[in-house]
Copies of this chain bind each other. A is one copy, B any other.
Amino acid sequence: MNESVKSAEQAKPAEPTDHSQRVDPAQFTCPVELRDYPRVILGHGGGGALSRELIEKIFLPAFGNRLLNQLSDSTLLEVPAGRLAFSTDSYVVRPLFFPGGSIGDLAVNGTVNDLAMSGAQPAFLSAAFILEEGFSLGELVAVVQEMARAAGAAGVSIVTGDTKVVERGHGDGCYITTSGIGIVPEGVAIGRSPPAPGDAVLLSGSIGDHGMAIMSVREGLAFESPIISDTAPLHHLVAAMLKACPAIRWLRDPTRGGVATSLNEIALQAEVGIVIEEGAIPVTPAVESACEILGLDPLLVANEGKLLAIVPAEATAAVLAAMQADRAGREAAVIGRVVADHPGMVVATTRFGAKRVIPLPIGEQLPRIC
């Protein structure tokens, strides 16, 4: 049996409650008050009193709401009849905190955005933590507070959760998996007809900010203006776009693998060609410099607060105006179009007028970016 678990079981409770006072304290003989130990121990994942302390002292104060407070194995939700969106993502970003955000923001906004891409209004999230033995409880509190803040900003509730602890050397501080349920309003018709030649490709803002914010920390790069992750919820932007055109052909937030991956996926799936104008794609000077230094293509770098849309040509102006009127889409631009040529392939026109194929990336240039 693991040493710290043994000690934890023998530890004297730091703050005896009415109930623990009834328990014979003679069984608690360890003089070290491990329940005040400022780091995660295996016992925190055991489902007993230490797990309960994590829930009562860390999770409930941050997330607390009527539904989570049920503290049962599952949470009961009242939903209207109709369509729900359901999504899940694990977050393993390294480091846990980076310029502009944290794993807590990503774990909320990433899943909120996956729901939003179906046109859903995100409503409920679950949160499952895999903690590494020895992880600082102070850092856990900071992560959880960031999640709570992001959930509040996005208007979603964290209604159920779980915590497991793995031995030192079998994790990396904190991994978080969130799942989300969103409610798709009646009339939303995203994807009713697939992308077709003539459609416009729109992008909601500058690309590469999230990936390069992470890389600038990992590589210790400093720029005149720091690179800040773009992590943000996008469901308000999507709602505004759907108001302008309920039958948007396709929406995707280009996270891992960046714009190149998302556009290749839709080109392959819909068997259409896509042409983009590199000069039309917003990239901040800092991201451009960082990409040049590190030899990366901004089209392949992850974003956490941007979306791509394919819309019927006749709706382009209306959707673009709706995007630019929303805070999350101020820099939105038309970056390309769907073509009948080269189905399944994405081709970029460079700033110098040359053409290059943008292939589907094989792996990932930047591991653990989200």
Question: Does A63 count as interface, using CB distance less than 8 angstroms?
Answer: no
Q: A43-B364, A166-B368 are in contact. List 8 more A-B contacts (CB 8 A).
A: A5-B365, A5-B367, A22-B345, A48-B364, A74-B180, A81-B81, A165-B367, A171-B171
Copies in the complex: 2
Chain A interface (Cβ < 8 Å from any Cβ of B): 1-2, 5, 8-9, 11, 13, 18-20, 22-24, 27, 35, 41-52, 71-92, 113-115, 117-118, 120, 124, 126-130, 159-167, 169-172, 175, 177, 179-182, 184, 252-253, 255-257, 261, 268-269, 342, 344-345, 357, 359-365, 367-368
> Do A162 and B362 touch (CB < 8 A)?
no
A78-B82, A362-B9 are known contacts. Are A90 and B43 too (CB-CB below 8 A)? no
B368 touches A86 (CB 8 A): no
Which of the residues B172, B252, B257, B357 comes within 8 Å of A22, measured between beta carbons?
Answer: B357
- Closest B residue to A5 by CB, please name it: B363
Q: Indicate if the CB atoms of B73 and A114 lie closer than 8 Å.
A: yes
B261 touches A47 (CB 8 A): yes
B162 touches A74 (CB 8 A): no
- B49 touching A162, Cβ below 8 Å: no
Closest 10 CB pairs of A and B: A46-B364, A43-B363, A47-B256, A74-B87, A179-B179, A81-B81, A88-B126, A48-B361, A47-B257, A177-B177
Contact at A73–B253, with CB atoms within 8 Å? yes
Q: Is the CB of A364 within 8 A of B45?
A: yes
Q: Is the CB of B47 within 8 A of A255?
A: yes
CA distance in complex: A13, B359 (Å): 13
* Chain B CB within 10 A, most for which of A77, A129, A162: A162
Interface SS of A by simple majority: mixed
B182 touches A74 (CB 8 A): yes
- Hey, which chain B residues are within 8 Å of A169, CB to CB? 169
- In the complex, A128 Cα to B180 Cα: how many Å? 12
Q: Which residue of B lies closest to A255 (CB)?
A: B47
A159 interface neighbour in B78, B86, B126, Cβ under 8 Å: B86
Q: Is the CB of B161 within 8 A of A363?
A: no
12 contacts between A and B (CB under 8 A): A8-B363, A45-B364, A48-B362, A51-B257, A72-B118, A79-B79, A88-B126, A88-B128, A89-B128, A90-B129, A130-B130, A167-B368
**Which residues does chain B contribute within 8 Å of A184, judged by CB atoms?**
76
The reply to whether A88 and B166 form a contact with Cβ atoms under 8 Å apart is no
Interchain nearest-CB distance for A178 vs B (Å): 8
Closest chain B residue to A294, Cβ basis: B1
Closest CB-CB distance, A50 to chain B, in whole Å?
5
Which residues of B lie under 8 Å from residue A166 when comparing CB positions?
A: 92, 172, 175, 368
Q: Which residue of B lies closest to A175 (CB)?
A: B130
